[in-house]
Structure 1
Amino acid sequence: MAVPTVARTAAPASRPDSTTRPGPLVSATVAILVAATGIPLGYVVWGAVSVGWDRAYELVVRPRVGELLYNTVALVAITVPLCVLIGVGVAWLVERTDLPGRAVWRPLFVAPLAVPAFVNSYAWVGVVPSLHGLWAGVLISTLSYFPFMYLPVAATLRRLDPAVEESARALGSDSVTVFFRVVLPQLRLAILGGGLLIGVHLLAEYGAFAMVRFDTFTVAIFQQFQVTFDGAAGSMLAGVLVLLCLALLVAEAAARGNARFARIGSGAPSVITPIRLGRSVIPASAALVALAALALGVPTWTILRWLWIGGAEVWDFGDIVTSLSQTIGLAAAAAALTTLLAFPVAWVAVRSSGFLARAAEGANYVASSLPGIVTALALVTVTISVAPVLYQSVALIVFAYVLLFMPRALVNVRAGLAQVPTSLEEASRSLGSSPTATFFRVTLRLTAPAAAAGAALVFVAVATELTATLLLAPTGTNTLSMRFWSLSSELDYAAAAPYALALVVLAIPVTLILLRQSAKAAAL
């Protein structure tokens, strides 16, 4: 019997509610930001040109690059599908079945995001010291990044109209057929978005793979930098890595296309009837418990174990407080500046149209998709050549954070700004308020919650960032991630445990923010 499929309609080009011409200050700020995002790509192109095409070709086709290419591509090709299987499966069990404990499972499977991947790697090496190679990287990556798939899929499942699924069942389809022919096609955008995010993280990750002795391009570039600063070989490796990042972006955009799945008309909300698992509830619950134990139990147990072994001697409170204060200072400065700069970009993207609007948003996403090691090397090279006074300065590392994490603030600010009725702003101006006063009295107040969420996400991202921080941090700076990496690299796992614990505690707010944002998105 034929099963009804969900209507698929071409998404019309989005149009701003009120097209306005940005002021000169906004336009200049956005233009400068767009130009700044081109620095990492410009660095890679300059590296290829400066060594000459013949030499560049020799560096790219050598066996070492082939080995790194195989490792990196294999890692992405294995990990992303595993994250899709786990994320979609867990989301479906939690959101669509009568599995008990839904209120517990939802936050539990977002919590792994509070454990940085390099801390997770440290935990697993503590349990299995011989862990290394490709499958070690796949294990660590899957357990660290599957929530990036679970979150959007769970939010999408909560938003889907259950009437379509009920119609399919009424026509004789079982639950498996309904899932694959009705539900799964509607999850395509969430799966592609989550897969892109996971793929970009895999290309950019350094600490987790270095700890399990698995060489990817990012690991090799960092090692090359340590041996010969800004060598030609490192530049060519960075070029291949950039091409891989761009290939991911293009593949996701091509797979996404211009189509979307949407509910036509709001109508009356339907109550989802949970699918009865019957006897399968026990193995399903056991599988979720096992996943939680692997993703959260291992790092928690390892950190507590090393704290117990180290005793009171590992708690150097003076050093911990110093590292914590430096981490909070850098993260707060970067979060504030990134969110502030996100406003003009979001304003142009939402309230105007044309080349600047498209370039402003697209350039920031492309720049942030590049690994931190490439951005850091680009900024080091540029500052030493053009403005040596900025080398190893707070301003330079904060600027790097802006380039790396702008989309985390931009997505939230853009969403908040798009929900501000332009009629309120027009009413304010008609009553004599200037555009500036209207912005602060109306627009900013209504956008503030979304902007605060974006700032918090940037804060946590900066607090747990490792590669760019190691290369760009001013002399004397020791953030929590730097101290943890220094001690764990020396195999002093007990001394590193307090810093790992501080990183996890500092990252916990991101789980609360992601849960809240996901619930809001599902309620729209």
Structure 2
Amino acid sequence: MLLAAAVAALALVPLGHIVVAAAGVGWSGIADLVLRPRVAELLVNTVRLVGGAVVVCVVLGVGAAWLVERSAVPGRRVWHVLLVAPLAVPAFVTSYAWISLLPGFDTYGGALLVVSLSYAPFVYLPAVAAFRGLDPALEDTARGLGLSTWGVFRRVQLPQLRVAVLGGALLVALHVLAEFGALAMLRYPTFTTAVYDQYRATFNGPGATMLAGVLVLLCLVLLLAEIRLRGARGYARTGAGAARTVRPVRLGALTAPALLALAAVVVLSVAVPLVSLVRWMATGTSAGLDVATLATTTGTTLALAAAAAVATTVFALPTGWLAVRRRGPVATLIERSTYLGSAVPAIVIALALVTVSIRLVPGLYQTVPVLLAAYAILFLPRAIVTVRAAVEQSPPLHDDVAASLGASAPARLWRVTLPLLAPGIGAGAALVFLAVVTELTATLLLAPTGTTTLATAFWSASSALEYGAAAPYAVVMVLLSAPATVLLSRDVLPAARRGPTP
């Protein structure tokens, strides 16, 4: 409980910064800064983008997960890897790939397409994991009672996917709320881009902080809605696994449309950005490539991403465990608190940590620990969602049996609990690693002097319209992200390795 509370306190540092700033402005000042037509416009833009992205990502993620895990669509193992691949391509790289191909792409539709393609794996991965944990006997029984394939999905499978889908949808919503790079390139104004513009152009701290406060309120609405929809029902299952073999559903005449739909998602989310990168890379190579600088930047990025992945996953363990094993108002409050930081723009998190470090521990200003703290605040939800899902499907019976046999608490943790949670821990660490490799805003403000990552180097070059020079950094970002993406997709369900049952 104490460890989880400490993690929540770290995540609430940006919120505390906003509250203190709001108290300094006063109610009249808040009204002047928030109750404006421009804020209403930003609210409409942000809400409709978040809502649209959640709907599109849920449809794409759940639909693709069903095709890969429950249908007889050809090449399911390959499709699984390709559907996770967008996580290896930064959203701002995807946005520039599209805007460079279609100059008129800077619309709501363009922004919705980019964020949906970039974040759909956040729903797809939990949905796949949930499908793999379902008991096929329930589906076979439902079919035996006369339900169609659609009826089985709607009445048997979908209710059991609720926790996973809601968790993934929450991740999508939080990340769209805080997205900056992609939306700035597409010139689609949201609260996050407005906050950045005010800090950069006018240094309007109170105005930007009040806009960030509206973002926090939107985050609270999302968290409360997810709690209400998810409920308190548990989904753990006892036993080593399903006794029956999964029988993939034959699609028949729908096989071709299903393949076309999967191919369209992969082409739009992966092929278009990679083709654009190849073109940039050719331009950059012809203009000369500073290999030494690229190597140094790559090493720095790799070290920061690995350290952040370990630290953030360690922080997520007590929170994920508490949320499932000690259900109640306090546990729910602690868990939900860890999500608030990621809904605040990275620039506000960075400035909050700068303020705290200067006032409390001046020696930490512009050091790696402060930067890692920013990464942890930003990406804790990615680790907590996967750890929580693992705990949900890990029955407490195993730990109780070990305790009855005389195993100490540390022994149970090492020999029983951690092995059961290993897939969730690994997935969470991989998601954090992917995020840090491509993180931009907080790194720009908090990195120690002289420290440059691949994302900041790419952003600097592309902002100066040196797209050829930016290409090598983007390519290495993709290459660094690829192993973690493979880690997320390598655990293929045995049924996916089998062909359709005759």
TM-score range normalised by the length of the shorter chain: 0.7 to 0.9
SS of match in other structure, 2:439: coil
Residue 459 (1) aligns with residue 433 (2): yes
Instruction: State the one-letter code of the partner of 2:245.
Output: V
Counterparts in 2 of 1:428 and 1:255: CA distance versus 1, 3 Å = closer
User: Would you say the 8 A contact 1:413–1:447 is kept in 2?
Assistant: no
CA distance in 2: counterparts of 1:271 and 1:429, whole angstroms: 35
Residue 115 (1) aligns with residue 89 (2): yes
* Partner of residue 499, structure 2: none
Q: 1:133 aligns with which of 107, 119, 130?
A: 107
Residue 91 (1) aligns with residue 65 (2): yes
Residue 52 (1) aligns with residue 26 (2): yes
CA distance in 2: counterparts of 1:228 and 1:341, whole angstroms: 36
Of structures 1 and 2, the larger Rg is shown by: 1
* Partner of residue 4, structure 1: none
Counterparts in 2 of 1:368 and 1:169: CA distance versus 1, 3 Å = same
Shift of 1:422: 6.3
Residue 235 (1) aligns with residue 209 (2): yes
* Partner of residue 367, structure 1: 341
Counterparts in 2 of 1:97 and 1:244: CA distance versus 1, 3 Å = same
Residue 100 (1) aligns with residue 74 (2): yes
Q: 2:263 aligns with which of 279, 289, 308?
A: 289
User: Would you say the 8 A contact 1:400–1:468 is kept in 2?
Assistant: yes
Q: 2:195 aligns with which of 192, 200, 221?
A: 221
User: Would you say the 8 A contact 1:37–1:363 is kept in 2?
Assistant: yes
Structure 2, unaligned runs of 5 or more: 497-502
Instruction: State the one-letter code of the partner of 1:242.
Output: V
How large is the RMSD of aligned CA atoms in angstroms? 3.3
When structure 1 is superposed on structure 2, of 503-512 and 451-460 the one drifting more is 451-460
* Partner of residue 455, structure 2: 481
Q: 1:504 aligns with which of 462, 478, 493?
A: 478
Q: 1:493 aligns with which of 433, 446, 467?
A: 467
Q: 2:273 aligns with which of 283, 293, 299?
A: 299
Counterparts in 2 of 1:266 and 1:32: CA distance versus 1, 3 Å = closer
Give the length in aligned residue pairs: 491
CA distance in 1: counterparts of 2:169 and 2:235, whole angstroms: 18
When structure 1 is superposed on structure 2, of 483-492 and 394-403 the one drifting more is 394-403
Structure 1, unaligned runs of 5 or more: 1-21
Instruction: State the one-letter code of the partner of 1:493.
Output: Y
* Partner of residue 294, structure 2: 320
CA distance in 2: counterparts of 1:175 and 1:458, whole angstroms: 36
* Partner of residue 212, structure 1: 186
Counterparts in 2 of 1:329 and 1:30: CA distance versus 1, 3 Å = same
* Partner of residue 11, structure 1: none
Instruction: State the one-letter code of the partner of 1:79.
Output: A
Shift of 1:54: 0.5
Instruction: State the one-letter code of the partner of 1:226.
Output: R
* Partner of residue 10, structure 1: none
User: Would you say the 8 A contact 1:424–1:442 is kept in 2?
Assistant: no
Q: 2:117 aligns with which of 143, 162, 165?
A: 143
* Partner of residue 305, structure 2: 331
Counterparts in 2 of 1:34 and 1:154: CA distance versus 1, 3 Å = closer
Shift of 1:478: 1.2
Instruction: State the one-letter code of the partner of 2:161.
Output: L
* Partner of residue 43, structure 2: 69
Shift of 1:260: 5.2
What are the residue-to-residue correspondences of 1:427-466 with 2, within 5 Å? 446=419, 449=422, 451=425, 454-466=428-440
Instruction: State the one-letter code of the partner of 1:130.
Output: G
Shift of 1:427: 6.8
Counterparts in 2 of 1:155 and 1:247: CA distance versus 1, 3 Å = same
User: Would you say the 8 A contact 2:93–2:474 is kept in 1?
Assistant: yes
Instruction: State the one-letter code of the partner of 1:297.
Output: A
Shift of 1:244: 0.8
Shift of 1:320: 0.8
Counterparts in 2 of 1:132 and 1:320: CA distance versus 1, 3 Å = same
Shift of 1:507: 0.8
1:120-169 per-residue CA deviation (whole Å, 9 max, x = no partner) reads 11211222133202111101011111111222222323333333333443
* Partner of residue 80, structure 1: 54
Shift of 1:107: 1.0
1:90-134 per-residue CA deviation (whole Å, 9 max, x = no partner) reads 222222222111121111111111111111112112221332021
Counterparts in 2 of 1:296 and 1:353: CA distance versus 1, 3 Å = closer
SS of match in other structure, 2:166: helix
CA distance in 2: counterparts of 1:380 and 1:457, whole angstroms: 26
1:383-420 per-residue CA deviation (whole Å, 9 max, x = no partner) reads 34444443322221122122223344456667589887
Alignment TM-score, normalising by the size of structure 2: 0.87
User: Would you say the 8 A contact 1:314–1:494 is kept in 2?
Assistant: no
SS of match in other structure, 1:52: helix
Shift of 1:178: 3.3
Counterparts in 2 of 1:72 and 1:114: CA distance versus 1, 3 Å = same
User: Would you say the 8 A contact 1:34–1:364 is kept in 2?
Assistant: yes
Q: State the identity as a percent.
A: 49
Residue 278 (1) aligns with residue 257 (2): no
CA distance in 1: counterparts of 2:328 and 2:132, whole angstroms: 35
Counterparts in 2 of 1:412 and 1:295: CA distance versus 1, 3 Å = closer
Counterparts in 2 of 1:292 and 1:265: CA distance versus 1, 3 Å = same
* Partner of residue 143, structure 2: 169
Instruction: State the one-letter code of the partner of 1:42.
Output: G
User: Would you say the 8 A contact 2:284–2:470 is kept in 1?
Assistant: no
Instruction: State the one-letter code of the partner of 1:112.
Output: P
Q: 1:405 aligns with which of 365, 379, 400?
A: 379
Counterparts in 2 of 1:441 and 1:485: CA distance versus 1, 3 Å = same
User: Would you say the 8 A contact 2:174–2:342 is kept in 1?
Assistant: no
